[in-house]
Amino acid sequence: MLDGKRTLFSGMQATGDLTLGNYLGALKNWVKLENEYETFYCVVDLHSITVRQEPAILRKKARTLLTLYIAAGLDPDKNCIYYQSHVSAHAELSWILNCFTYMGELNRMTQFKDKSAKHSDNINSGLYTYPVLMASDILLFQSDVVPVGSDQKQHLEITRDIAERFNNIYGDVFTVPEPYIGEAGARIMSLQEPNKKMSKSDENPNASIYIMDDKDTIIRKFKRAVTDSDNEIRYSEDKPGIKNLIDIYSVTTGKAVGDIEKEFLNSGYGDFKIAVGEAVADMLTPVHSRMSELTKDKAYIDNVIKTNAEKANYYATKTLRKVQRKVGFPDRIR
């Protein structure tokens, strides 16, 4: 808890382009939390270099992501929006917590196995200790809650284990975080493989809707979405393609599934796909407009980067100094 409010931490990697799933599953929901929590939203660029990055592209992607946070509705005066690499306490705390994390715990992390398989030419130690850096991200801000998807549950569990282990040795140092359970939302699936989650790393460009896709591109991708052969717009587990489209239309328009089935009772898949595409494009239009304005205002974004980094550093340093003293590092001479 900071300044009388419970603390929430989250972040996204500064690689790839954010998808409709990222927007509906995270960004759109984050906007609702700024008055309830002291929020920290990180542009996760330290984690990004576990995979080789082109430096100029990484810098550009990081700035684009930070700007997109704001364009999506996050107020930088109410939410601390910052670059992970601008707060050195992330890396400093990570080293300390590495010394309180067991090899057996890291060996059980499935994401290391998955990423090692994808990047067999670069299986580095940063990829292996990635969960410890993630634990540091969360614990630095005494986070009470962390929004997590199913693929991140392991990382929150190891974060809790590390925090409890440290607290058992040194006393009440870290807040032990809980998962944030918000409103149940649709899980947005791939348009080409509707049995798997929509991903910004998908190699098929038609599988994902990206937040910054223009209207023509969005509608074209929905027209190509995989469905089935019976042409009936019905919400059913045995129709994963059309179920996914109904989910998207429902969360985009606010209409109930039953009402959608009635609305398109006498329509074919072609008409429904166009309707879904238009609804998504209309929803994203204000984000595109705001993104265009912000991109042109370099001074404003630069000021957000500076002031939010200062705020993040202030709170992160308070935790780091406490940890350093607990483990026995010499006090700094002021």
Q: What confidence score (pLDDT) does residue 321 get?
A: 97
Go through the domains of the chain in sequence order and give each one's CATH number. 7-181+298-327 (3.40.50.620), 215-292 (1.10.240.10)
Give, for 108, the enclosing helix (H) or strand (E): none
Active site residue 196: no
Which residues touch 35 (CB under 8 Å, ≥6 apart)? Answer: 78
Q: What confidence score (pLDDT) does residue 127 get?
A: 79
Which residues touch 242 (CB under 8 Å, ≥6 apart)? Answer: 227, 228, 232, 233, 234, 235, 236, 269, 272
Residues of the chain with pLDDT under 50: 184
Task: Give the residue among 133, 160, 132 at the shortest CA–CA distance from 146.
Answer: 160
Q: What confidence score (pLDDT) does residue 4 get?
A: 76
Catalytic residue among 28, 200, 215, 255: 200
**Measured between alpha carbons, how far is 161 from 176 in angstroms, rounded to an integer?**
9
Catalytic residue among 197, 221, 239, 243: 197
SS (H, E, C) 86-130: HCCHHHHHHHHHHCCCCHHHHHCCHHHHHHHHHCCCCCCHHHHCH
- Verdict on whether the full-model pTM lies above 0.85: yes
Q: Which residue has the tokens 């929006």?
A: 81
pLDDT per position as a tens digit, 5-37:
899 999 998 887 899 998 998 888 898 898 899
Active site residue 322: no
Catalytic residue among 61, 115, 221, 239: 115
DSSP-assigned letter for residue 37? S
Q: What confidence score (pLDDT) does residue 34 get?
A: 87
Sign of the alpha-carbon torsion through 274, 68, 199, 252:
negative
Q: What confidence score (pLDDT) does residue 183 get?
A: 59
